Amino acid sequence: MSPEALELELDRLHPAAFGWAIACCAGDRAAAEDALQASYLKILDGQARFDGRASFRTWLFAVVRNTAAELRRRAALRRLLPLAVLGATPDGRPDPATVLARADATRRLTAALAALPRRQREVLHLVFYQDLTIAEAAEVAGVSLGTARTHYERGKAALKKLLKDEPE
């Protein structure tokens, strides 16, 4: 794929990729922007190559997911080191500005999603938010179809319960 074609595809999928990056960063918008920028750099520099085995969207989401995980690990390491006092690092929680900007219904949804285990949250996001099939979600999350299906069913039940329990 030529660099121009690559940029066009990234441009087309940018809003969806941003939403996915937010989900990968547990609602932290600043961390999501970092992860997305780092992912685009990886792709444009050729560190991550699209080999055509999956759809471009599935592949891009996998790159974003892995990059967000790398940044999360680095941030956790920085928090452990004494250098952490030099600057605040994202701690994997939604930033207050993002929480305030949300409408009530979506705030309840994001709060309920934040209470779910990461895998369940990811699979639910990919299926309901990104309209991927469970098989595609499994590919992005790097798990088997059976595992993704289990995360989907358990996550959906837990999310439904959380939304029902929480007062409106």
Partner 1 sequence: MTERNDHDLGEQFHALRREDAAAAAPFHATLAAARARRAPPPGRRTRWLAAAAAAVAGVALALLFTRPDRGGGVTIDLATVRWKAPTDFLLALPGEELLRAVPELGRPRSTRDRRIP
78 binds partner 1, rule: CB under 8 A? no
Binder of partner 1 out of 78, 102, 149, 154 (CB under 8 A): 102
Binder of partner 1 out of 2, 4, 11, 167 (CB under 8 A): 11
**145, 138 Cβ separation under 8 angstroms:** yes
∠ CA 134-139-142, rounded to 5°: 115
**Cβ count within 10 A of residue 150:** 15
Binder of partner 1 out of 106, 133, 144, 166 (CB under 8 A): 106
Question: In the stretch 28-47, what mask flags binding to partner 1 with x, by CB under 8 A?
Answer: -x---x--xxx-xx--xx--
Q: Which of 85, 78, 90 is nearest to 35 (CA)?
A: 90
Q: 90 CB contacts (<8 Å, ≥6 apart)? A: 25, 28, 30, 31, 34, 75
167 binds partner 1, rule: CB under 8 A? no
Q: Nearer to partner 1 by C-beta: 4 or 53?
A: 4
In the complex, which residues of this chain contact partner 1 (CB under 8 A)?
Answer: 7, 10-11, 14-16, 18-19, 22, 29, 33, 36-38, 40-41, 44-45, 101-103, 105-106, 109-110, 124-125, 128-129, 156-157, 159-160, 163
